[in-house]
Amino acid sequence: MNTVHVPASTPYDVEIGPGLLSGLGDKVKALCPKANRYLVVTDDAVGPLWLRKATTPLSAAGLTFVPYTLPHGEASKTAENLMKILNFAAGERFTRSDVFLALGGGMVGDLTGLAAATYMRGVGYIQLPTTLLAAVDSSVGGKTAVDLPAGKNLMGAFWQPRLVLCDTDVLATLPRADFISGCAEIIKTAVLFDPALFDLLEAAGPDFDREAVIAACVGHKRDVVAEDERDTGRRALLNLGHTLGHAVEAYSGFSLTHGQAVAIGMATVCRAAAKRGFCAPQVPERVDAILEKFGLPIRTDAPFDALMERMLSDKKRSGGTIAVVVPDKIGQCSLRPMTTDEAAAFMKEGL
């Protein structure tokens, strides 16, 4: 097992390894001694596979839990479902000392985290990621959110979990497309911070060591979160590929996975950066090649104007500027503030 400690405003550990769900009961009992009950939020795809595996240890430890199941998919990450969870918790008379558990991928984690942040002005919650994408990215760092019709994650809060428990055995039941989607965030991390990880991924492809690579990615995110928890500076680097990626994802009606959209956004930015002389031509060549090796897309046929309309409504815009994450080389990126017109012209070059 690997443990990564996150020294945020509310410190917590991220534990990564096989078989960790079997010890969930004793772990949460020790971590949350005042909790009387646990609200276990999952979805209708994960629940049949892993709900019993997660809740049996709770019962064995003498803990009381109540499950709540959402329809799976990004379309469920709405303010309406947030209110349903909050009303359910209130109807079940959950108190401020009780704890929410998020058993699922990024949608479940984001929605449960925001529910925990807002229920009775904040209750504890624990992340139990069941997708690679959630394990390496969304479960760590305290960003919680739901989508609005205008765009992704426009309603949210910073609320750190008490614990992230990443049981790598769960990845065995992950559909191949969802696993590959998570690989996009791993490649993003390598492009941002870790040339050695990039080399490893180039050589291994999707057959990399799950525990070691997840731990490496969580370690890099830990470092950024510790420096910039509230996303006012360096943490914006984690948006590599997301400025355009969110627009691509929204335009597709979420038929593209988050990872596929981020891959397109990352490839586009790298191509534009090389054309502007911000990085060597070898950077987009290597990024395109590794994304294709993992079965991820590198281009979109979405209309440019439609993408720009969505991109300019994204929460990463501040006034009339956007901080675009641009590669200097593999393992090092910079934030380049651009006006909305400059950002649009930059993206057009990459597209």
Q: Do 143 and 187 have their domain in common?
A: no
Q: Do 103 and 118 have their domain in common?
A: yes
Q: pLDDT at position 321, please?
A: 86
Q: pLDDT at position 339, please?
A: 93
Q: Do 211 and 334 have their domain in common?
A: yes
Q: pLDDT at position 315, please?
A: 55
Q: pLDDT at position 312, please?
A: 80
Q: Do 185 and 115 have their domain in common?
A: no
Could you tell me the CA-to-CA distances from 105 to 43, 65, 89, 110, 150 in Å, in that order? 9, 20, 21, 9, 22
Q: Which residues of the chain have pLDDT under 70?
A: 314-319
- What is the distance between the alpha carbons of residues 46 and 130, in angstroms, rounded to a whole number? 8
Q: How many folded domains does the chain comprise?
A: 2
Q: pLDDT at position 150, please?
A: 83
Q: Do 68 and 8 have their domain in common?
A: yes
Q: Do 156 and 200 have their domain in common?
A: no
Q: Do 204 and 327 have their domain in common?
A: yes
Q: Do 138 and 183 have their domain in common?
A: no
Q: Do 113 and 238 have their domain in common?
A: no
- What is the distance between the alpha carbons of residues 37 and 29, in angstroms, rounded to a whole number? 10
Which among 116, 139, 173 is the end of a domain? 173
> With contact defined as beta carbons under 8 Å apart, do 137 and 148 qualify?
no
Q: Do 236 and 146 have their domain in common?
A: no
Helix and strand totals (H; E) in the chain: 13, 12
Q: Do 312 and 253 have their domain in common?
A: yes
Q: pLDDT at position 126, please?
A: 98
Range of 97's domain? 2-173
Which among 143, 173, 203 is the end of a domain? 173
* H/E run at residue 187: helix 176-193
Which among 109, 142, 173 is the end of a domain? 173
Q: pTM above the 0.85 mark? A: yes
What is the domain-level CATH number for residue 84?
3.40.50.1970
Q: Do 184 and 137 have their domain in common?
A: no
Q: pLDDT at position 152, please?
A: 83
What is the domain-level CATH number for residue 331?
1.20.1090.10
